[in-house]
A and B are shown apart, each in its own frame.
Chain A
Amino acid sequence: MSYIHFPVIAVMTLFMGAFLTVVFGRKSKAVRNILALAASCTAFVLICCLIKPVLIDGEIISYWMGNWSPVEGYAIGIGYEIDQLSMFFALITVFTVLMSCIYSIRYMERDSALDFYNVLFLMLSGSVLGLVLTGDVFNMFIMIEIMTFTSVGLAAFRNNKAGSVEAGFKYLVIGSIGSSMTLFGVAILYGNCHTLNMAQLSSILAGRLTPSTLMAFALMFTGLAVKSYIVPFHTPAADAYTTAPASISMVFSGMVNKAGVYGMIRLVYIIFRAMDKSSVQLLMVIFGVVTMFVGVTMALAQHDFKRLLAFHSISQIGYVITAAGLGSALGLTAGLFHAMNHTLFKGLLFLCAGAVYYAAGTTNLDKLGGLSKKMPKTCICFLIGAFSISGLPPFNGFASKWLVYQAVYEKAVTSGNIFYAFATVAAVVVSVMTLASFIKVTQAVFFGQLPASLENVQEVPALMRLPMWIMSALCVLTGVFYDQVNKWLLAPAAGAALNVSGYIDRMMGEGYAAEAGVVNIPVFAARFSFWNPVVWLLLFIIVLAAFCLAIIGSSGDRASISSAPADAEDGKYATFFSGEKSMPSHVSGSDLFWGFKKNWKGYFKVMDGIHSGRVNDYALYVVCAAALITVFVFGFVR
């Protein structure tokens, strides 16, 4: 069987898995798990088989459903088209699905109605995979719809918990507004161009920005922005990520909002090819900077582990949008890299949050503490994830953030626009605040004092730890060997987005693009100078080794290191409380960063007012933002 069938089979497998679970999985737990695992593994393997032809050989796969290939230059059938950009996001998707699937086997064992869980989960996975692989805008819309409605079901899955139905409802309302905008945009495009195929749209729309296509652009931009939860569309995400089971939160932040990001990149880079316009760049960068800033400041104010992570998801998507919105090869590379890293480290962090919930029964930062002694392995995974997201060298978050700064500042100096310089400053400050809020989690959950109620907490089962270890390892590896990642994954993906003619030709026939006047933007190799993690790591290890040698060599001269025997009541090893025997004063998450919060009181008050929790307000934000985007597009995009 030729590999050109693989993409569609991968999508079908996931949907079939969902279907079979309904039929056979109602009674037996084993059947359910096997079906889910088999479906996700198959999808993973099938997509991985495409790495060689697509990423390495640079081939673009096109597949016409039912062999309805174009007639007289018009695409009438639904086509799947897998270029390197789709492939990149497809890899992210299937990886996330597999990890989540493995994790959920043990994590979800205490919940009921698991057949529904698996059905929704597999349909969500299938829809996201379909979304990134499809070459047809209406098909993309349908996948978005499936994605939205399964997400609603999953966000409200633990409906015995406070807030989950509310979260589902918010998601439903905001998501529907977004979907209908997308649909409206698609309809306008169809009316204008008489085709729904992305490749053909791309060649027709080149240089044809009439008022109606601009309207379609504004609407689809807004619709996809809602799906990627950038501010001000972020409100349902915060609730949904919090109330959904951790294995689903991980999927939400790992691939569902990546699907939105993918859609935006596909829209602006390929369908409209509008990224060379400085107005579109400005639009995306403004949205990106506002998103990263609002996301991280809101995260600093949170008291719940998962809600904090949810706001960080929003904030990190801001980085992706900012970088991708620069329109340069470096910027797109940085954006894609950060999107990938975000999937890795945020997925890891959500899994850690799930592990804490599984073990301790709560994710409230004010009730946890001192878990590092009870759950040492989870703690290590969490620290790796936290360091990655806060961008400490040599983890992957640093490599991608560093590229983002470079890309933004390069834009600043080459365009001479000081706005981009301040965008760089904002990005760095957001990164420090990210670090701050993860220090808060570290202190509030894993270090500090252990509350008496958590004395019996145990480490989570190995099957839950497995995906966590895999993702931790990838966080380190992609950070250290980012050159290789760039070479094999990012450069092809960014190149695919910037060079559209190959994409159009493959779908519509050789020479079609040239006829329509599509010009490729030359992709120069992204600059990767001046950060050599391998050298740094080597030097670091040399110093560490020298230090350890010195310690061993001087062991006769030093005094001993004495640590407490396991059950000693010796006062020597007790915590120092100014002489008191005990002081029940665990410094919990909400006590931290007082000096910062005091100075930002006014800002937090405003933010509190904005995040009112009322769906009406949130829907209003979406509509207002859509109106603003439309005005901006009509006013400035030429």
Chain B
Amino acid sequence: MIKKAIANSMQKSPWLYHVNTGSCNGCDIELVACLTPRYDVERFGFKLAGSPRHADIVVVSGPITSQSKERLLRTLEQVPEPYCIVTLGSCPQSGNVFKGSYSVEAPIDKFCHVDVAIAGCTVKPEAVIAGLYKATEILKKKREAMNK
């Protein structure tokens, strides 16, 4: 029963850690917009956490510049299991308009596993909410898989 309660809670209380890897800040403010009274993701239990040690969902925005790549990987290493990685906007997916630049390492799936990718340039808050909600379901599944 406790196991089930924990798995359920995993879906109800996801804490976000936001990593900006050279984003133009467009997606970042859309993520913050989700916390405002208009969208209010806190009703799903979302909360911005200060440290990757507290995170359940790591939100990555930006085209992964060469400088930020190792920092991103180092941060991802420090997140406790189970966790999800959500990419915000088109940049981490493809590099978007920065594609082909010598200093851009996108796409992100070359070096880490992505659970949910939210597309758009910039992303719409509605899409962010839908994507994050999807991630919470994955989180729950990951937790249930840990029980077995």
Contacts and interface: CB of A to CB of B under 8 A. Distances in A.
Given a CB threshold of 8 Å, the question of whether A touches B is answered with yes
Interface of A: 554, 556-557, 559, 570-572, 574, 576, 578-581
B2 A574 contact: no
Contact of B2 (A554, A559, A571, A581): A554
B134 interface: no
Contacts of A572: 77-78
Contact of A559 (B70, B77, B146): B146
B78 A574 contact: yes
B9 to A, nearest CB: 12
A11 to B, nearest CB: 61
Given A554-B2, A559-B146, A576 B51 contact: yes
B81 A579 contact: no
- For the complex of A and B, list the 3 residue pairs with the smallest distance between their C-beta atoms, beginning with the closest: A579-B71, A571-B77, A557-B2
Indicate the member of A557, A570, A572, A579 with the most B CB atoms within 10 Å.
Answer: A579
Contact of B71 (A557, A574, A580): A580
22 contacts: A557-B2, A557-B3, A557-B6, A559-B80, A570-B77, A571-B73, A571-B74, A571-B78, A572-B78, A574-B74, A574-B77, A576-B51, A576-B78, A578-B71, A579-B19, A579-B71, A579-B74, A579-B75, A580-B71, A580-B74, A581-B70, A581-B74
Contact of B52 (A556, A559, A576, A580): A576
The secondary-structure label for the interface of chain A is loop
Contacts of A559: 80-81, 146
A571 B44 CA distance: 32
Interface of B: 2-3, 6, 19, 51-53, 68, 70-75, 77-78, 80-81, 146-147
Contacts of B147: 557
Nearest to B72: A579
B140 to A, nearest CB: 14
Contacts of A557: 2-3, 6, 147
Contacts of A580: 71, 74
Contacts of B53: 576
Indicate the member of A554, A559, A574, A580 with the most B CB atoms within 10 Å.
Answer: A559
A557 B70 CA distance: 34
B147 to A, nearest CB: 8
Nearest to A573: B78
A556 B52 CA distance: 25
Contacts of B6: 557
A625 B80 CA distance: 62
Contacts of A576: 51-53, 75, 78
Nearest to A558: B6
A571 B75 CA distance: 9
A100 B39 CA distance: 68
Nearest to A554: B2
A594 B99 CA distance: 46
Contacts of A570: 77
Indicate the member of A554, A570, A572, A581 with the most B CB atoms within 10 Å.
Answer: A572
A563 to B, nearest CB: 12
B106 to A, nearest CB: 18
Contacts of B72: 579
A576 B70 CA distance: 13
Contacts of B74: 571, 574, 579-581
A579 to B, nearest CB: 3
B19 to A, nearest CB: 8
Contacts of B52: 576
Nearest to B77: A571
A580 B81 CA distance: 21
Contacts of A581: 70, 74
A572 B73 CA distance: 10
Nearest to B79: A572
B108 to A, nearest CB: 15
Nearest to A560: B81
Given A571-B78, A578-B71, 4 more contacts: A557-B2, A559-B81, A571-B74, A574-B77
Contacts of B81: 559
Contacts of B146: 559
A556 B75 CA distance: 28
Contacts of B70: 581
A320 B94 CA distance: 72
Nearest to A572: B77
A554 B70 CA distance: 37
A557 B3 CA distance: 5
Nearest to B146: A559
A152 B19 CA distance: 61
A571 B72 CA distance: 12
A581 B52 CA distance: 15
A554 B2 CA distance: 8
Contacts of A579: 19, 68, 71-72, 74-75
A136 to B, nearest CB: 67
A581 to B, nearest CB: 7
B30 to A, nearest CB: 22
B132 to A, nearest CB: 22
A261 B65 CA distance: 68
Nearest to B52: A576
A552 to B, nearest CB: 13
Nearest to B19: A579
A579 B67 CA distance: 11
Contacts of B75: 576, 579
A574 B52 CA distance: 12
Nearest to B76: A571
Nearest to A556: B3
A571 B2 CA distance: 31
Indicate the member of B70, B78, B81 with the most A CB atoms within 10 Å.
Answer: B78
A576 B17 CA distance: 13
A580 B19 CA distance: 13
B105 to A, nearest CB: 15
B28 to A, nearest CB: 16
